[in-house]
Amino acid sequence: MKKTVLVSGGAGFIGSHVTVELIEAGYDVIVADNMSNCDMTCFEGVKKITGKEDIPFFKIDFCKEEEVRKLFSDNKIDAVIHFAAFKAVGESVAKPVMYYKNNLNSFLNVLEAASAHGCHNVLFSSSATVYGEPDKVPVTENTPRKPATSPYGNTKQMCEDILQDTVKATKGTDGEIKGILLRYFNPIGAHPSALIGELPRGVPNNLVPFITQTAIGKRECLSIFGNDYPTPDGTCLRDYIDIVDLAKAHVFAVGRMLENKMKADCEIFNIGTGKPVSVLELVNSFERVNGLKLNYKFAPRRAGDVTAIWADPTLANKEMGWKAERSVDETLAAAWAWEKHLAGK
C-alpha cells in the first residue's frame, strides 16, 4: 500500500521541492501550510510538474492545537516532514517571542498529534546554524553544537532536543516516535522546470535571491558583506546545496524510516555538498554561467555571519546512499531561469 507523507510548510521553497520528489518517488503527499510566507505559486507549480491535480492541501495554522490534531485524526499519516517555521535570522533577533512561540508551538503540536494518532515517523528540518562558528571545518554530525547566535538558531537547537527527548520517552509505547534530523547547509536554486523556486517576500535576506533580483533589475546593487575575512578571497565560505538534491535527501530519509532501516531511533545527517564556495566565487559563477554582469559592491560584514562552514556529508552519502549531484553552475542557471519565469521573460 502507498504510504502517506504529511509535509508541513509544503507550499514554501523547500517544502514544494520536497513534495515534487516524494510524489515522483511514489508517495501520497498531504500538503499543509498557513501561507504566512508564501502564496499558491509553488503549490500550483508542483501540480504542473507532477501532473497531479488532486494533491490534498490544508490551510492550517500549526500553532493551533485543534487544527493539527484534526489533521492527524482525519488522515492516515505514515510520516511527517516538518518545515513550517519562521526562518529570518535578523527578524528573529528583533522579534524573539514571535519566533519561539511559532517555531516551538508548531513543532510541539505536530509531535503530540503524531504520537497520539499512530504516525511514528518525524523528520525535522534543521540547519547548519546549530554548529554556530565551528572550531574545525568541515563539520560532521559529531561536531559539537555551539550556543545559537540568534533566536532562530536557538529554535532549531531546541526542536532538535525536543525530538530527541520525545524519541527516548516514547520508545516501546503505542505512541512511539522515530526521528531524523536533517541539517541543511545553504539550499539554493530552483526546479529545472522553472515552475517552482524561492519566492522571498520583500527584500531577500539570502544571497542567491538577492543576486537574481539584482540581475533582473528589481534591486540596484548586491552588497557583498565583508571582504576582510580570513579566507582565500576575503569573503565568507559556505556549502551551497542544490534545492532538488536537498529535496531528494528527504526521499531517502523517509524511505529509511518507513522501511525500518534506521540504525538508531533518532538519526542526524548533514545535507551538503562538502565543497566550500566563497561569496565572490558564487557571484562570479553566476555571471559566467548566465552570461551577464552583476552590479555588486563590497560592504561591511553582516552581524552574526560565520566566516566559514561547510559539511562533511560522508554519513549521508554512505548510510542513506544520497549524494549531491548538481553542480553549482547548473544550480545557478536554474535560479536565473526561475527569476526570469517570475518576471514573465
Is the Cβ–Cβ distance between 340 and 194 less than 8 Å?
Answer: yes
Our CA angle for 332, 189, 270, nearest 5°, is 115
- 279: helix, strand or coil: helix
Integer Cα distance of 84 and 102 in angstroms: 9
Phi, psi (degrees; rounded to nearest 5) at 82: -100, 110
User: What minimum distance in Å lies between the beta carbon of 44 and ligand UFG?
Assistant: 25
Is the Cβ of residue 34 or residue 235 nearer to ligand UFG in the bound state? Answer: 235
Cell of 240: 551551497
Binding site for ligand UFG (CB under 6 A): 87, 89, 127-129, 152-153, 186, 205-207, 210, 222-225, 236, 238, 279, 302, 305-306
Length of the chain: 345
Return the bridge partners of 277, or none.
238
User: What minimum distance in Å lies between the beta carbon of 260 and ligand UFG?
Assistant: 31
Q: Choosing from 27, 99, 131, 152, which is the catalytic residue?
A: 152
Integer Cα distance of 276 and 186 in angstroms: 11
Tell the burial category of 207 from Cβ atoms under 10 Å away from its Cβ (0-12, 13-18, 19+). buried
CB nearest ligand UFG: which residue?
A: 236
Is residue 152 part of the annotated active site? The answer reads yes
User: What minimum distance in Å lies between the beta carbon of 279 and ligand UFG?
Assistant: 5
Is the Cβ of residue 47 or residue 87 nearer to ligand UFG in the bound state? Answer: 87
User: What minimum distance in Å lies between the beta carbon of 146 and ligand UFG?
Assistant: 11
Amino acid at 88: A
Is the Cβ of residue 121 or residue 214 nearer to ligand UFG in the bound state? Answer: 214
Phi, psi (degrees; rounded to nearest 5) at 66: -60, -45
Is the Cβ of residue 305 or residue 319 nearer to ligand UFG in the bound state? Answer: 305
Is the Cβ of residue 109 or residue 129 nearer to ligand UFG in the bound state? Answer: 129
User: What minimum distance in Å lies between the beta carbon of 137 and ligand UFG?
Assistant: 13
Catalytic residues: 152
